[in-house]
Amino acid sequence: MSSTPTGTAPTGNTKPSLTGARIKQRKGVAKSQAKFEPEVFRDELYKHLESVPSGDWEGYAASLDKAGNTLEYRKYGDQLFELLILGGLLAPGGTFNEDGEAPSPFCVFGAKSDKLEDVKPYIDVIEKMIRRYKFLQKPLEESTLQGILQYINRYEVEQRNKLAIAVALMIQAGLATAGVLSSLQKDHLAKDDLAINFVTLVFRTYLVGQTIDHLGSNLRKGGVKEWQLFFPQTKRSQPDLITSYFKSPEVNLPQVADYWVRRQQKEVKDRTIARLGELVQEEASVSETIDYLKAQMKEASMQPEDFVSLVWEGLMKAVDWGSRSDQIEGLALKEVNKNAPILEPFCPNARAEISLINTIQLFCYTDTRVLKIFPNVLKVLYNRDVISDQAILYWAQKGAKPQGKQHFLKATEPLINFLKEADDEDESDEE
């Protein structure tokens, strides 16, 4: 019976092995398989922070920077931010992990008051740490903040205030998006005005250093749309809930209310223009189209002088402008004549009529293919009782827009002279 020679491959089902060799495990694999010990991480982090004198913000920033060289920030990202914001580790259900350990030497909840000037230094330090360890921004935004916010009902009033200020500063600094606020749109958090009070303080803090448009842009990018979900269920059906709340003397954030109105009007505008185009294509009746438009104007709380411009825009966008260039002018006049009955109900006064004339002026100025038809459009609308002679005369005297003003005044000169003469004759008849 022969033996297997040394160094040759074994036969059958025997697996090859390197006798006496030690296989070194990859560092990443070793870390991933290491035991998850958040309490150990916390204790090691405390050692770095405890030596820093209270109020030494540069010292805290340097210590957190140094700690990242040895502690596993990537693995314990959520726990790191829980310690730096809340001062302790969160257990399931939102309670603090009570193992007898003192709060973190550095944490937002440890700020001496819930005033902006006392909370801001903590966020400045956290921002420096994130700029140094950029991978930390993702867990902060996608998990930690959302996890912390869903338990605001468990925090004390002053702690909630500090957290609201901190969240506002983080969003303002770009450390998180406003989308984290959506975590508050839960019925148990909206109860007793808890969520809306928190969001209000976030807005108020944000607006100390930024404009409402900047805040609005962040809210839009973060997908925070249905603001009524921050309010208790019993209040959500109240008319003008959001505008009346932010304009109330107790809240006194009228710029937020005005932004909300503008945003709602834009949404209504986009929706209305799109639907108006569909109604035109479907050849819906004039009465059906007018009823729809009136409902939209009411929903958006818009005045006729603002809404009539929207109606014109929607009607013109519904036109198929693919005709030959020499037919465009005739097509435009045909459409104006056809749609005059739809425009008429939204010109109930001189302000609305002048607004429509200016809208048409800008339309013709922007699309040079219809530049020449401006006087003819006014004639059609005048003959169809959409706009009055007094509105046209006022526009010519002092109401015209600066865009192409001289051209349009020159082009409408015959019409203006005709209306003036007719007006003079009427005055003579009355005498």
Task: List, for residues 374-395, the tens digit of each pLDDT value.
Answer: 999 999 999 999 999 999 999 9
Task: List, for residues 314-367, the tens digit of each pLDDT value.
Answer: 999 888 877 666 688 888 999 999 999 999 999 999 999 999 999 999 999 998
* CA 5 – CA 276 distance, rounded (Å): 89
Element (H, E) at 254: helix 254-281
- The two tokens of residue 62 are 């340097």
Residues 6+ apart with CB under 8 A from 14: none
Say if residue 293's pLDDT is above 60.
yes
Q: Given its phi and psi angles, is residue 249 left (phi above 0), alpha (psi -120 to 50 degrees) or beta?
A: alpha
Indicate the pLDDT class of residue 100, thresholds 50, 70 and 90. low
Helices (H), 68-156: 77-85, 116-132, 137-139, 145-149
The gap from C-alpha 349 to its chain's centroid, in whole angstroms, comes to: 35
Helices (H), 282-349: 286-299, 304-317, 328-343
* CA 276 – CA 289 distance, rounded (Å): 7
